[in-house]
Chain A
Amino acid sequence: MVSVETITERLKQAPAPVTLSKLRKELRQDVTAALAQAMEAGTIFAWPRYFNSPRYWHRETAPVVREAMLTIARRDAMSKTNLIRATAKMAHNCGVPAAKAALTSLVKSGEVRSAKTVGATGLYYATDTPQALVSASLALLMERLRRLNIDAGEISTGTGAPAQATPLTESTFEAIRRLQPSPGVPVSVQQLRSAMVRASKQELDAAVLSLADAQKIYLTTHDHGWSLPEAEREQLVWDGGQKLYVAVTLRD
């Protein structure tokens, strides 16, 4: 029989919840008893099934799902259905019920709010990042205007200027520009973090991801980020899913 330590260590190394069948296949031993003991000891947790297969991980489901939902809601405001769907996907396919429960809890705690800005659909966003609501509302409005055959130039003239980046995104971009040893050479995210001490991990991660989504920078994934000690892993930029990024490079 496999030991509790072995199974705990295996799950600690895993970047995502692992199915029972995969554990059995890998360890080639009976893992049921060790799993039960480790769960009782609180070192591992059961996760919602995936394709009907039970899953286990060293992190509890609810906090991971909450974290994922907050990451999404900080980046972009969206409808309830879309937020639940995106969270379920990002949080290791945790399933709709777990994502729904996270939303209820986050709304209850006031960390996520909804507002009807354009049209009748409420947009959910992270309370500490109202910029997400502003951006999404403006994008929605632009889309509606475009559907009325109003071109981008007229929209831009009407609004005075294109949507502004947040100050943190701007300062992050400036920091990357300053830190690169020569144009186009990557900057490690650890170096960037050291230069942006005022930004929290979540804030800087969001700013970096937002710059990447805006085609301002490229990101380099870390090959074995999930096997790093937690303190080192925290230094990387997490996309809320499976990817950890180690370096940023300015685009052309």
Chain B
Amino acid sequence: MLQSPSETDQRLASIPNPFSDAAVGSVWDPRPVDVPQIHANVSAELLHLVDERSLGRHHRCVLLYGDAGSGKTHVMRRLRIALENSGGPPVAFSWVRMQTSPSMMWRHVRRSLAGDLSRRPFRGSTQLAHLLENRKQSIETVENRDLALVLDHLGSGLYTRDARAWLAGDALPDEALQTLKLGLRDGGEETSEDESRRVLVALSQFLAPSPVVLCLDQLEALQSHPGDRNGLFAIGKLLAALHDEAPNIVVIGCVQTGLIHELASVLSKAETDRYQPTALRPLNAAQIRALVKARLESVPELERLRPAGAAELWPVDIAKLDALAMSREGITPRKVIFECEQMLRAAQDIPEPNATLQDHIQERFDQEIRAAAARLSSGASTSILSDALPRLLHVRGVKTERTGLPPWIDHVLIGPDGRKTAVILANESPRSLWRKLDKICLGWDPAERGAAIIRDAANPLRATAAASIDRLQELERRGARVITPSREALIALDAARRVLANLDSGDLTWRGEKAPVTTVEDWIRKHLPESAAKLLDELTGPVADPGGAGLRLGLAAYLDGKKLAAVADAAAHLQCTTTELENCARQNTDQFGLFGGPQPAVFERIPAVPGA
């Protein structure tokens, strides 16, 4: 039956826009639209590499260059699906978005690999379950005792929750370690990072000769800011170490083409020899047409609404896309999809959203805040702080350094007056923390640089951790600042670092293009939640501690089990006056709250999740 034009318009307006999602957020994204002829040669090359590795042939790592939106993550996703659907023996596959700091990179890769292998659904189970099926006998050959035990538990289906957590690098309570028959950890930061590297290599050796595909996406996110050479060094070291130590790992690193010169100028010949570059080029006319066609066909209703005599790719104006393809930069798939989304929206007579770039950043930040709040665990604060602080300090114009430092320092910040402050992250369990604090007491020279020791509010030191509290108070007496970021501050820092990392990687877009760096940085500078801004102020401001770190630590430890206590009781326990205690609570409102009345009480504050 013929439809009237108004009926057609109405139906067109009601159909979903097949171009509404321009970015592939993750390789685990199940959406089906793929155009095999786009980047077909690169996909074939990667599959060939995996095949070769299965046969025991060792190649260099692959460094995949491409502009923002060129389809790097999409190609990884295609590889993942091809391997999963191949019908052959399972090949371990992991995708790591490198949004971490160089000093945490091995822990980050370990966590992602363990999560992908042991948690993500794969052929009705998990990748690790399939891989363990025929390898139970070879667990005995694993030299790393703890890893062998954990694999044994996972293979037998015992203590799976704790075993998976250990595999990911989580710090387990002593009781859980004893149940798993694992050794108790007592090392510092250096050991955690080294341990993760050892576990990763041992795990890949266990899976050999089967290949392990490790996609390291957004390698540029290892930089704290554009131009950060420490992050580039880290990329070189990571690729070289994986190439040399884990021959069955197929490493595919993704990086933006814009970094090509910086990487070449920073990395040594030995490092550049360990990777082979390949690239995703902008789309040609035939690829543009194929992409548009595939997206249009994903909504069959569109074909039924096509007016008589309309062009093949109606309602997309292909000439406009051709003109963009002829620009100096060419056109990426993301840009094609954005332009088509606009054209379809116009055809549907749906007005463009009236949002500004500022609104868009706010929306992305709010999303990240919600995700960070859901993700935050007591073990995550070190990785958040190590990555977020240098990023946000850079946004505030403060320089940071990471190279040539003792292992107990995460990074050093250089204030506007040239004064240096060592930022020390101290979220270890009390059993290993006191050792680290000992090293700081011995190695720190206040005349050389200041020290800011950060332990987050989610890890309060209990009264039983006397050795650690004593050393912290000793360091404080010598002029170190002890800073306790709240849960709220950690959530804000996590969200901000992810917005900035996505910006650096070109995944924060505005109108089909990479969002302008200065605008986003400016927005972050102005809109960072107060809890996080206060932490940065504390780090960069003059040495002063109005809240009294010693009292603050003591109060946090006292309230850890109780949550709520009478001010008089708390003051008596901490040997201070009630006024001092109340002042401390008032000056640290992100940690504590006060109830008034005839019997005032102090309580531990757990902030509401912003935007939830």
By a beta-carbon cutoff of 8 Å, the part of chain A in contact with chain B is 26, 181-182, 184-191, 209, 212-213, 215, 218-224, 227-228, 239, 245-247, 249, 251-252
Contact: A252 with B258, CB < 8 Å?
Answer: no
Most buried by A among B67, B261, B284, B522: B261
Q: Quick check: is B315 within 8 A (CB to CB) of the other chain?
A: no
| Residues of A with C-beta under 8 A to B330 | 218, 251
Q: Which B280-317 residues have a C-beta within 8 angstroms of A?
A: 281-282, 284
For B272, the closest partner residue in chain A by CB is: A181
A246–B259 Cα gap in the complex (Å)? 8
CA distance A212 to B329 in the complex (A): 8
- A252, B522: Cβ atoms under 8 Å? no
Tell me which residues across on chain B come within 8 A of A223, comparing CB atoms: 226, 256, 258, 514, 517
Tell me the nearest residue of chain B to A228, going by C-beta.
B227
Q: How far is the CB of A117 from chain B (nearest CB, A)?
A: 27
Q: CB < 8 Å: which of B258, B264, B284, B522 contacts A221? A: B258
Candidates B226, B265, B328, B517; contact of A209 at CB < 8 Å: B328
Contact of B257 among A26, A186, A239 (CB under 8 A): A186
B609 within 8 A of A: no
Report B-chain residues with C-beta under 8 Å of the C-beta of A239. 328
A190 touches B261 (CB 8 A): yes
Inter-chain contact B260/A218, CB cutoff 8 Å = no
Closest Cβ of chain B: how far from A17's Cβ, in Å?
Answer: 15
Q: How many residues of B contact A (CB 8 A)?
A: 25
Counting CB contacts under 8 A, is B358 at the interface?
Answer: no
Q: Given that A26-B522, A212-B328, A224-B517 are known contacts, is A218 also in contact with B281, CB under 8 Å in the complex?
A: yes
Query: In the complex, which residue of chain A has the Cβ closest to the Cβ of B513?
Result: A221
B522 cross-chain contacts in A, Cβ below 8 A: 26
- With beta carbons under 8 angstroms apart, the residue of B261, B278, B284, B328 that contacts A246 is B261
Most buried by A among B257, B260, B326, B328: B328
**Extra A-B contacts (11), CB below 8 Å, given A190-B261, A215-B326:** A184-B279, A184-B281, A188-B260, A209-B328, A212-B328, A219-B328, A220-B258, A224-B227, A246-B260, A247-B260, A251-B330
Q: With A186-B279, A212-B328, A252-B284 as known contacts, state yes or no: A224 contacts B226, CB within 8 Å.
A: yes
In the bound complex, residues from chain A placing their C-beta under 8 Å from that of B278 are 182, 184-185
CB-CB under 8 A for A186 and B226, given A209-B328, A218-B329, A249-B279:
no
Q: Which residues of A contact B264 (CB under 8 A)?
A: 188, 191
User: Least Cβ distance of B32 to chain A in Å?
Assistant: 27
Which A residues touch B206, using CB under 8 A?
none
List of B residues within 8 angstroms of A245 by Cβ: 328
16 sampled A-B residue pairs with Cβ under 8 A: A182-B277, A185-B65, A185-B278, A185-B279, A186-B260, A188-B264, A191-B264, A218-B282, A218-B330, A220-B67, A223-B226, A223-B258, A223-B514, A245-B328, A247-B261, A249-B279
* Interchain CB contact under 8 A, B328 and A247: no
Task: Give Cα A182 to B260, complex, Å.
Answer: 14
- Write out the residue numbers on chain A whose beta carbons fall within 8 Å of the beta carbon of B329: 218-221
Give B114 Cβ to nearest chain A Cβ, in Å. Answer: 33
Minimal beta-carbon separation of A129 from chain B (angstroms): 19
Closest to A15 in B: B518
Q: What's the minimum C-beta distance from A248 to chain B, rounded to whole angstroms? A: 10
Q: Check A191–B261 contact: CB distance below 8 A.
A: yes
**Could you say which of B226, B258, B277, B281 contacts A251, with CB atoms under 8 Å apart?**
B281
* Distance, CA A212 to CA B67, complexed state (A): 16
B 259-281 binary contact with A (CB < 8 Å = 1; else 0): 01100110000000000111101
Q: A228 to B227, alpha carbons, bound, how many Å?
A: 9
Q: Please give the distance in Å from B361's CB to the nearest CB on chain A.
A: 16
Query: CB distance B281 to A249 under 8 Å?
Result: yes
Which one of A188, A209, A213 has the highest number of Cβ atoms from chain B below 10 Å of its Cβ?
A188
B67 / chain A contacts, CB cutoff of 8 Å:
220
Give min CB distance, A87 to chain B, whole Å.
19
Say how far B416's CB is from chain A's closest CB, in angstroms: 11
Residue in chain B with minimal CB distance to A226 = B518
- Smallest beta-carbon distance A136→chain B, Å: 19
- Are B277 and A181 in contact, with the CB atoms below 8 A? yes
Q: With a CB–CB cut-off of 8 A, which chain B residues contact A246? A: 257-258, 260-261
Instruction: Give 8 nearest A-B pairs by CB, closest first.
Output: A188-B261, A212-B328, A224-B226, A220-B257, A218-B330, A219-B328, A185-B279, A188-B260
- Across the interface, which residues of A come within 8 angstroms of B284, CB to CB? 251-252
